[in-house]
Amino acid sequence: MAEHPAYPVGLRLTGRKVVVLGGGQVAQRRLPALIAAGGDILLVSPTATPSVEAMVEAGELTWEKRPYAEGDLADAWYALIATSDTEANTLASAEAERHRVWCVRSDDADAATAWTPATGTSEGVTIAVLTSDAKGRDPRHTAAIRDAVVEGLRDGTLVAPHHRTRTPGVALVGGGPGDPDLITVRGRRLLAEADVVITDHLGPRDLLAELPQSVEVIDAAKLPYGRFMAQEAINDALIEHARKGRSVVRLKGGDPFVYGRGMEEVQALAEAGIPCTVVPGISSSISVPGAAGIPVTHRGVAHEFTVVSGHIAPDDERSLVDWQALARLTGTLVILMGVGTIGKVAETLIAHGKSPDTPVALVQEGTTAAQRRVDATLATVAETVVAEEIKPPAVIVIGEVVTVGPNPSK
């Protein structure tokens, strides 16, 4: 029997009786997939692990607390034989054979009539990897192949275009703060499937180098915009490429909706009748402080954090920020786009009551190889920015959280 390869098949177990003998580690590992497949599961075992008991308590299977008995498999469609008693396993698999019930055996793959593949899922597809013959069974190897395929599909290094479900349109993808590993799995996959990528300067630029030659990469900052606003030129480019039936990714730094003008693009696409998917990203406002050893909240230190744009100075009439109110807050202030205005911001916060000794950290090019952290206080930050030649992009963190962790720059 073992000389022939196994025949792969997908069992549709919904509402069909599945018998599991043994409530140990093997059952614990296999039960979630059997439950997910909708099987009507009967567990026969004198004992069960706490996790298996939790599944019973959740009503996901029925448990008869006793050893295997002849007749248990008579009306099953499928059986998992995994008791610690080899004799009972042998009797049970003989019964399964008599009743023509496909059965998996945890202790003897050769004696089993079915094998469990190593499985994983990606985008609604189940990947199942099976060794062809019992003698060559190497579960670690099949698991490694499964992992390589699932991982490759998730991170986009293995590309399998969706022929039926891929819709032309635009994906607005948050690329994270800069480290190419910090884009989401979905973002990376969409990037790998794109025909056109319209990108900003911030975000994971290294990922663009991995794209195939055929992908058109457009730098949003270089789009000619003549008498229009730059943003209108970007919206037009998105619409124009999508209308040609191409898969367009609009790649942005951080999260598309955190000072990213993402919603303006969503609105323009909606008006043009173009389908748009939004993929959130890891915002620099939290991840950059974190990468520099600063938690934006910390028990007993800061119970809130506020993210503020510093691109308009506090004394500018266009400012929408209530700096006076911010000065009264006891939590953390995170300022983006604030390198040029931090002197005035610090002055305003101190004028409204914040201590000049409040710790401040400036984190430039966070999560990239060029990451740099410089510490100061509200009183000294303006001169520190000049003396240390801090340049955008930088995240500025103001508050006691700056001093709670070890400073990796020291």
Task: Select the span of 158-166, 237-245, 264-272, 283-291 touching ligand SAM (CB under 6 A).
Answer: 283-291
- Contact assessment for residue 237 and residue 218, using Cβ atoms and an 8 Å cutoff: yes
Per-residue x/- marks for ligand SAM, 127-156, CB under 6 A? Answer: ------------------------------
Of 71-79, 118-126, 373-381, 392-400: span binding ligand SAM (CB under 6 A): 392-400
Q: Kindly state the helix (H) or strand (E) to which residue 28 belongs, with its residue range.
A: helix 25-36
* Residue 266 lies near ligand SAM (rule: CB under 6 A): no
CB-nearer residue toward ligand SAM: 108 or 206: 206
Residues 343, 349, 351: CA angle, nearest 5 degrees: 100
Query: Quick one: which of 81, 258, 313, 397 contacts ligand SAM (CB under 6 A)?
Result: 258
- Confirm or reject binding of residue 288 to ligand SAM (CB under 6 A): yes
DSSP 349-403: HHHTT--TT-EEEEEESTTSTT-EEEEEETTTHHHHHHHTT--SSEEEEESGGGG
CB of 312 closer than 8 Å to CB of 318? yes
341 in contact with ligand SAM (CB under 6 A): no
Cis ω before 393 (30° cut-off from 0):
yes
Q: How far is the CB of 359 from ligand SAM (least distance, A)?
A: 18
Instruction: Name the 3-class secondary structure at 129.
Output: strand
Q: φ and ψ at 121, to 5 degrees?
A: -125, 150
Looking at the Cβ atoms of 44 and 276, the one nearer to ligand SAM is 276
Which positions from 196 through 215 interact with ligand SAM, judged by CB under 6 A? 202
| Nearest residue relative to ligand SAM (C-beta) | 254
Residues 281 and 183 sit within 8 Å (Cβ to Cβ)? yes
Nearer to ligand SAM, 22 or 180 (CB): 180
Residue range at the interface with ligand SAM (CB under 6 A); choices 102-110, 136-144, 209-217, 253-261? 253-261
Residue from 394, 397, 398, 402 binding ligand SAM (CB under 6 A): 394
CB of 361 to ligand SAM, least distance (A): 11
**What DSSP state is assigned to residue 109?**
G
CA-to-CA distance for 269 and 276, rounded, in angstroms? 7
- List Cα–Cα distances, 193 to 16, 67, 213, 290, in angstroms: 39, 53, 13, 31
Residue among 91, 185, 217, 337 that touches ligand SAM (CB under 6 A): 337
By CB under 6 A, name the binding residues for ligand SAM: 177-178, 202, 252-255, 258-260, 283-285, 288, 336-337, 363, 365-368, 392-395
